Amino acid sequence: MKGRGVWIAVTSSLLTLGAVFVVLNLASGEKKIEQRLERLYATNDPQFRRAMGNLLGPPILEGNKTEVLVNGDMIFAAMLSAIKQARRTITFETYIYWSETIGREFADALIERARAGVKVHVLLDWVGSSRMDARYLEEMKAAGIEVERYHEPHWSNLQRMNNRTHRKVLVVDGVVGFTGGVGIADKWRGNAQDKEHWRDTHFRVEGPVVAQMQAVFMDNWIKATGRVMHGEDYFPALKVRGDEAAQMFSSSPTGGSESMHLMYLMAITAATRSIHLSNSYFVPDELVVKALAAAARRGVQVRVITPGPDIDTDVVRRASRARWGELLEAGVVIAEYQPTMFHCKVLVIDGLMVSVGSTNFDNRSFRINDEANLNVVSEAFARRQIQIFDEDFRQSKPMTLQAWRGRPWQEKALERVASLFGNQL
C-alpha cells in the first residue's frame, strides 16, 4: 500500500507540474487591451504619426526607400543577390527554414560569404526550422557562421516553449534590409502559378530605418545568446535613400506583447477613407472585429483578402469564418483568394500608411509570438500596394452575408468549435 501511495503521489506531482507548464505556455503574462480606442485623429493628422512613434517605441524616420517584391522568384533573387554582395555583416532571423532546393541555395550563399570573411549570424526558430536538415547547420557552423535556434527545448525554458520567433528580418552590411511574409521553403518558389507555389509579398528597404531593422534582429539575438554586436559593421551611418517615412517595430511576450495589437487598433480607428487588409491567418479578436465594423459603419471602405480552400491550416480558416458575421453585417467586404495559398500580410490605411511584416491577424501574433512590422507612410508606396491588392482581389471570391448565413449547419458547427481555439491560432 505504501508503494502504491508513493506512486500515486509521484504521478499526481508530475500531472500537476505538467499542468503548470501548460498554463505558463498559454498565458502571455501581460495585461491585454480591454477596451476600444477612442477615435481622436485621422491618419493624415500629425498626431497620428506622433502616437505611432511614441506608443510603439521607435520614431518614424524620414528618407527611406522601400521596394515591393511579389512572389518567390522575385523575392529570393533579391535576397540572395544582397547576401552575395555582403562585405561586412549578415544578420538573418526567420521562422520557417526547411531543407529543399531554396534552403540549400541560402545555406550555400551564407557559407560562401562567411568563408570570404563576412560575419554571418543566423537565428532560426526551433519549431519553424524543425524540418531543416541538421547537415545544413553543421556546414554553416563549420564555415564560421554563428547559428542559433530560438527557444530550443531545455529544462530552463519550458515555460517559453509556446513563444516562437515569427520575425522575418534580413539585414546586409547594416544598409539593406528585407522583411515580409516569406519563409525559406520551396512552397514559396515560383510566381504563385499553381497550388504548389504560394502567393506572398516581401520588401527590400534602404535608408535610416534599416538601423531599426537591425535593432529588431539584435533584440532576439541578445535573448538567445547573451552577446551584443555593435559598431560600424552592424550600425553604419545611413544616408537618405528616398522620400518615405518609416519605422520598424517589434512585439514579444517578454516585452510589449500588445504593441502589434495596439498598432492595428490605432490604424483602423484612425482610418477615414479606406482599409485594405491582406492576411494569411485572419482570426480577429472582439476588439478588432468591433474596430473594423465601426470603421465600415462610419463610411470607410473596408476590404479584406484571406486564403480560400487552399490553406495549410484548415482550422484557421474555420475559426476565421466563424467571426465574419458582425463584419459582413457592417459592410466589410471579405474575399477568399482562389488560385493557391495566400500568405501575404499587408495593411494599407487611407492610401497613406502601409504596415508590412511577419504579423498574422490573430491572437498568436498579437500576444504569443515575437513579431516585427515595417510601417511606411507614403502615398506613392501605398498606391502601389493597393494596385497589388486589387490584382489579388480579382482572383478572390467575396463572401456575401446571405451566403455566410446560409452555410450548412455542419460547417457552422465545425467553425464554432475551431473558434474556441482562437487564442492559440
Q: Which residue out of 197, 276, 345, 392 is catalytically annotated?
A: 345
Catalytic status, residue 285:
no
Catalytic status, residue 151:
no
Catalytic status, residue 168:
yes
**Contact yes or no for 318/414 (Cβ under 8 A):** yes
Catalytic status, residue 125:
no
Q: Which residue out of 285, 343, 362, 370 is catalytically annotated?
A: 343
Catalytic status, residue 345:
yes
Would the CA dihedral through 147, 152, 155, 156 be positive or negative?
positive
Catalytic status, residue 133:
no
Q: Which residue out of 125, 173, 219, 370 is catalytically annotated?
A: 173
How buried is 421 (Cβ within 10 angstroms: 0-12 exposed, 13-18 middle, 19+ buried)?
Answer: middle
How buried is 74 (Cβ within 10 angstroms: 0-12 exposed, 13-18 middle, 19+ buried)?
Answer: middle
Backbone angles phi and psi of 202, in degrees to 5:
-135, 170
Strand partners, 170: 92, 178
Q: Cα separation of 143 and 276, whole Å?
A: 44
CA dist list (Å): 228 to 133, 171, 174, 223, 225: 28, 16, 15, 10, 8
Q: Which residue out of 168, 197, 202, 261 is catalytically annotated?
A: 168
- 204: which 3 cell numbers? 527590400
Q: Which residue out of 285, 350, 362, 392 is catalytically annotated?
A: 350
Give the catalytic positions in this structure.
166, 168, 173, 343, 345, 350
